Amino acid sequence: MFLLNRYITPIVLAIDLYDKGGIATYSSHTFCITWYFAEAMWYIVSFGITHVLVAMRVMAIWGRPRWIVFLLSSLWLAYFCSTLGILLASLITKAHTVHFEPLLRVCYLNIAPFLWSCWIPPLLLEIVLFTLSCIQALRAGKFTPRTPIIHVLFRDGALHFVVILACSIFNMITWLVAPPTLVALAKYFSLAMANVMISRLVLNLRSCQAESRSHHFVATPGGGIQVHVSVDEVELGGATWSSKDHDRELYADIGSGAGVSPSQSSIQF
């Protein structure tokens, strides 16, 4: 899904810029109406893929308990169906306005006055995803900056939410109050930014794998996070250490109890 979204979107944007940039000397009505529907369908699929990838990250952070999987799957389905319904209603009601404008040399059409509302469902889904990420970030606490993979998951998740929030509000305002000549600005900007952000989410997570060899976490099905760190980096201050089979294992009393081996420690909270 990531590769599909990453490499098809630039092609779609390139064709759309050719169509809407006044480059074409002539486009048939068949091309205009076909591209009108095809482009809109790809936009909805592209944003759907983006939200699937973000939802999968949140599921992983929570350890994939059944209630999280069911909740996010249901919310994604509701978001996708509602957005698709709004978009299809807009496409069908304004399909008769699609035509090639020889003066501007573009495929021109009118936009439905309610089209701006298609940005509300994804915005609501993003708020839920961000809230769930924040809950786990608070649970992770002081381990977040010292464990690269946790830090990347929460940092990039927050940046993604801010960017999508800004793009959604920008699109709603543009389609509500801006003149028709600026409508395409919101469309191109939001699709490009959403794809850049999801690419950074995936690539940053891969790049931190090497750093995480001595620091990694496992999300438990109950919603907790188990952090594993190298024994050389365990802070001994405040812990009472006792020896059991000195060459093999050590145990520390750190309030909640944590077992530490010579190769790694496991701390669950």
What are the sequence ranges of the domains in the chain?
Answer: 2-212, 214-268
pLDDT of residue 247: 39
Question: In Å, what is the CA distance from 71 to each residue of 52, 113, 137, 237?
Answer: 13, 32, 19, 41
pLDDT of residue 131: 92
Residues 251, 259: contact at Cβ < 8 Å?
yes
Closest CA to 217 of 156, 263, 148: 148
pTM of the complete model? 0.71
Running along the chain, 269 residues long, what does each successive block of 10 average in pLDDT? 78 82 80 89 90 89 90 96 94 89 82 88 92 84 62 80 87 81 73 79 68 51 49 37 39 39 41
Residue 216 β-bridge partners: 228
Length of the chain: 269
pLDDT of residue 125: 94
pLDDT of residue 242: 39
pLDDT of residue 70: 96
pLDDT of residue 78: 97
